[in-house]
Structure formats: C-alpha cells, structure tokens
Amino acid sequence: MPRKVDHDQRRRHIVESLLRITGAQGLEAVSLREVAHEAGVSMGAVQHYFATKDEMLLYALQHWLSLSVHDRFAGRVRDRLAGAPAGEPAAMLRAIAAEYLPHDAAGRADALVAVAFLSRAAVAPALAAALAPAFAGFVRTLGTVFESAGPAIDAPAEAQRLAALLDGLRLPVLAGALSHRDALAVVDRHLAQLTTATAHA
Amino acid sequence: MPRKVDHDQRRRHIVESLLRITGAQGLEAVSLREVAHEAGVSMGAVQHYFATKDEMLLYALQHWLSLSVHDRFAGRVRDRLAGAPAGEPAAMLRAIAAEYLPHDAAGRADALVAVAFLSRAAVAPALAAALAPAFAGFVRTLGTVFESAGPAIDAPAEAQRLAALLDGLRLPVLAGALSHRDALAVVDRHLAQLTTATAHA
DNA sequence: AGTTTTGCAATGCGACTGCATTGTAACCAC
DNA sequence: GTGGTTACAATGCAGTCGCATTGCAAAACT
C-alpha cells in the first residue's frame, strides 16, 4: 500500500473549504475549482476524493451536521451555561436559543450554511434525507429539556413549537431585519408565557 | 411608436415562467435559456425585456410578492373564512396559518419559491431589500388581527412570534418532515395557549 | 413613401461548469 | 529493482452560462 495519507482527514479538509465558501457566499458560489482553490489543492485531488459534486455536497452536509451541531454548538451552549445553576431548564433553553440565533461572524456563517442546505434540500431528496434526522434530533434534545421542567408541560409539543420558532427567527436575524437581542426577547416572552400558561392549567 | 405590445405584461409573462421553474426545481435551475423556453419565447426576447439576470430575478421577486401575497394568498384566506363568523380573530389567524403552511401543489410551489428567494436574499442584498418590507407587512397584518382580539394581548410582539413560528413550520412541512395537519396543530396549541395565558394575566 | 423606432430572432463570444482522461511521482511488497 | 497500487497534477472536453452583437420585420410618425 502506497503513500500514507489519512483519507478521511483529506475529505474533511476539502469539505470544510466548501463550507467556508458556502458560509460566505452561499451554495451557488461552490464549484469544484473554487473548492480546490480554497482548500489549497488541485482539482484533481478534489476529484480523487469525491466522484461527483453531489457526493461532495452530501458529505459536506453530513460533516457539517456532526461538526457544527455536535461539537461547536453543544460546546458553546455549555460555555454559556458555565455560570448558571446546573439543570435549570429555562436557562438551558435560553442558552440554546441564544446560541441558535446568529450573533457573531461564526454564527452567521453557520446560519448561512444552514439556510443554503435547507433550501437546496427542498429540491434534493438526498440532502433532505440527511437533514431530517438531525432536525429530529434537535427537537428531541429540546424535548428532554422540557421534560426536566416538570410533567405539567407537554414536552414533545413544546419542543416542536420552540424549534419552529427558533427556525423562523433565524432568517430575519440573518437578514438584519431583526437584531439578536430582539429575537431573543421574543424567545424570552415565549418561555415566560409558557410557564405562566401551564401554571394555571 | 412601433409594434404595440404591452411591455409590462410581457415582463410579467416571462417572470411567471421563471417562478414556475423556481417553484418546481429551485432557483439554481433558472437560466436565461430555460426561462425563455418555459415562456415560449426566444432568448433574445428575454434579454430585450431584462438587461441582466439579476434584474430579472429582482423583478420576479417583486412580481411574486404582489401576485402571490396580495392576490392569491389574501383571496385564499378570504375563501377559508367564507363560512366563519366575520371578525373572529382566532379564526382569522388560523385561516392565515392554514394557508401559509403549504398543503397543496400550488402552496408547495409557493413555499418553494419563498425559501429559494429567502436563502438567496441572505447573500444578495438587492433581494433582501425587496423582501424586507413584504415580511414587515405580513407581521403588521398579523398585528392588526391581534389588536382586534383585545387590549390584553401585546399585538406587535405576538404578531412577530406567530410569524416566526409559521416561518419555522413551513420548511419541515415542505420537506415532508411534518404534515400540514400536525403543523396546524402546533399553531392551534399556540393560539389556545396564548388566550389562556392572557386570560390570567 | 420614407424614416425612425421598437420588438424581437439568431448567432456568437469568452468564461466557466462538472467530469473524463492521462501522466507521473511516491510508496510498499516482493 | 521490479511490479503494483495509491495520490495526485495537468489538461482536455463537451456543454452551459450570462451577455453582446447584429439583422430584420413591423408599426407608427413625418
């Protein structure tokens, strides 16, 4: 066996360049040559690791989901909760929301990547299939937090509602039509009203 | 002056073809040739009416906003309310929501057009600028409905919250991850909880 | 009737697309 | 060192892209 290179690491390196381009200029700016250039490799190398562009896109999405969601997102939420009393559901949800809504350059890029793939998934079933479990997982995560808030709350339903709300807030924030602060205020109202309503239920 | 043709009508005819393509295959399937073919005209004709593709896209978005939102959407909501008691806020909001969430072929296409332009607006300021007032108008419309529900409700805030919720529900419905019925159930819960919470405020 | 202006159709251009092919250098097994 | 396999690099190719140019027919204006 020849030339020891870590196959998976190279693939990751390439799609991370792809994601960087997508996060800055959208998916329509992604071409094989552009990706190769951004990755600092030749086009032949890119083709060596990905047979087609679609395969590369799919791998990029999968990699982004694990990388962005599992690693970065969870870590940032944890950081945000560092000072708060552990296990407080409302604080956790707020932290998740604050992190979900883009507020810095990295968050903006991530959100841009998300909407780019989301909208393409609407016409590319392969991407939709890859995206579906990730979305379901996010809702489930929210659900477990709601569960810890007590049995008075319909956890699955509230998780779905909050997830939708966050998703709907993300784009206005991204477009600058809504500030991060204002969007978070909507979430705060939402969470506050939720506990009020259930307290009287 | 020569050759009597309705300039604006031709432009509309062309961008409607563009919107048909977008509603079926997304914005990335839109090219000058494809639009010309779909419109049943030559490429020269398309260029005669639009100097650049960007100009055509912008005009298409503006046309779609007036056509889809003002004409079709408002009309459909009115149809939905035909049998209901006039001026009942909850019923109106529910009708708007039911219509906003895609449930038939036309609604799906419209939603697809929306997400396509939305995601492109994230990297194309001209489109974002055209989209912003339309979104604000939708929120304002919701706001007036909430206002008619009585002073106990913070109308602007609730309008924003409902708009975000609907926006966040649209994509999962479009992707098939959520049925129209389930999504509407989320909205119903939302509206129900809203009146419950304010009743005790 | 002739001139001018508009509405296209046809064609072409350079850039770029994804993808295929070919060449070559590096590495390992023998 | 020879053969085989992997990792690329270079280049080519057919197709498509947005856009520019040109040409001509039809209709108003003079």
Note the pLDDT of residue A200: 52
Residues B184 and B108 in one domain: yes
Between CA B2 and C1' C1 the distance (Å) reads 17
Residues 143-162 of B with CB under 8 A from A: 154, 157, 160-161
Residue B44, domain extent: 7-65
Contact A171 B122 (CB under 8 A): yes
Tell me how many domains chain B contains: 2
Is A100 a member of any domain? yes
Please identify residues in chain A, positions 50-69, with a C-beta within 7 angstroms of any atom of strand C: 51-54
Residues A140 and A178 in one domain: yes
Per-residue confidence in pLDDT tens, chain B, 201 aa: 456 678 899 999 999 999 999 999 999 999 999 999 999 999 999 999 999 999 999 999 999 999 988 788 989 998 888 877 777 899 999 999 999 999 999 999 999 999 999 999 999 999 999 999 999 999 999 999 999 998 999 999 999 999 999 999 999 999 999 999 999 999 999 999 887 766 554
Is A2 a member of any domain? no
Residues B161 and B93 in one domain: yes
Between CA A47 and C1' C22 the distance (Å) reads 14
Residues B93 and B192 in one domain: yes
Cα-Cα-Cα-Cα torsion A71, A74, A79, A83, nearest 10 degrees, comes to: -150
Residues B158 and B114 in one domain: yes
Separation of alpha carbons B201 and A107, rounded Å: 36
Cβ neighbors of A91 (< 8 A, separation 6 or more) are A81, A84, A85
Nucleotide nearest to A5 (CA to C1'): D7
CATH of the domain at B151: 1.10.357.10
B5 CB inside 7 Å of strand C: yes
The overall longest dimension of chain B from CA atoms, in Å, is 70
Is B1 a member of any domain? no
Q: Are B174 and B110 in contact (CB under 8 A)?
A: no
Residues B97 and B35 in one domain: no
Confidence check: pLDDT of A2 > 60: no
Which of A122, A189, A197 is closest, CB to CB, to B112?
A: A122
Is A114 a member of any domain? yes
By CB neighbour count within 10 A (0-12 exposed, 13-18 middle, 19+ buried), where does A87 fall? exposed
Interaxial angle between packed helices B180-199 and A180-199, expressed in degrees from 0 to 180 and rounded to the nearest 10: 70
Is A120 a member of any domain? yes
Between CA A1 and C1' C29 the distance (Å) reads 8
Residues B81 and B162 in one domain: yes
Map tokens 């393409």 to a residue. Answer: A120
Contact B26 A122 (CB under 8 A): yes
Residues A78 and A51 in one domain: no
By CB neighbour count within 10 A (0-12 exposed, 13-18 middle, 19+ buried), where does B76 fall? middle
Q: Is the minimum CB–CB distance between B176 and chain A shorter than 8 Å?
A: yes
CATH of the domain at B60: 1.10.10.60
Residues B51 and B82 in one domain: no
Residues A115 and A186 in one domain: yes
Is B114 a member of any domain? yes
